[in-house]
Amino acid sequence: MSIMIPAWVDGVLVPVEKLEAHQKGLRHKAVSVFVLRGPEMLLQQRALGKYHTPGLWANTCCTHPDWDEDPLTCAVRRLDEELGIKGLAPDFRQNLEYRADVGDNLIEHEVVDVFVAHAGDNFTMTPNPDEVMAAEWVHHAEVRKRIAQTPDAFTPWMRIYMSEHADAIFGVELTG
């Protein structure tokens, strides 16, 4: 079964098959979540079975909402589906747009609702191996250092978020 995502075609938002949106570089809706624990953020390494950017490190989770799905509902759903994370209350931080080549003649041209959630004392996760091959808590300064040293180990969107949008996403939580 193909996955349909909200994308703009000739200026109109319509359901488009996800792979087609990436092959054509269509502008489409997306959601990204950063889970924080003090000065650390939870990163995930994408599973090797992902059709683009397999094995690369990214923010806690990112996805495309279903047609007519509320972005917050999508964020909560994907935290559970990708990492088995339940019970967090993500806060909306900003809407941003980026366009990036993700390899294999695929383009992410996303209009992203970005959310931040805070891990509490009872935080648990159970990564889905079809989605995530590893997860790691990393101090924000170390994330920046790793991206500078080995940018190709990170997804294009993670590099963009950290270089162009970190202040708006994290505010004084991680940048102050």
Q: What is the pLDDT of residues 37-74, one digit of tens each?
A: 999 999 999 999 999 999 999 999 999 999 889 999 99
Residue 163's contacts (CB-CB under 8 Å, 6 or more residues apart) are 147
Q: Distance (Å, rounded) from C-alpha 94 to C-alpha 165? A: 9
What per-residue confidence (pLDDT) applies to 1?
53
Instruction: Tell me the H-state helices in 29-155.
Output: 71-83, 140-149
**Catalytic residue check, 20:** no
Task: Determine contact, residues 75/92, Cβ cutoff 8 Å.
Answer: no
Ordered structural domains, the chain, with CATH: 4-170 (3.90.79.10)
What per-residue confidence (pLDDT) applies to 45?
98
Helix (H) or strand (E) segment spanning residue 109: strand 106-118
Structure tokens at 49: 């079975």
**Catalytic residue check, 81:** no
Q: What is the pLDDT of residues 80-94, one digit of tens each?
A: 999 999 999 999 999
Instruction: State mean pLDDT over 6-17.
Output: 94
Structure tokens at 34: 């950063």
| Catalytic-role residue among 40, 61, 62, 108 | 62
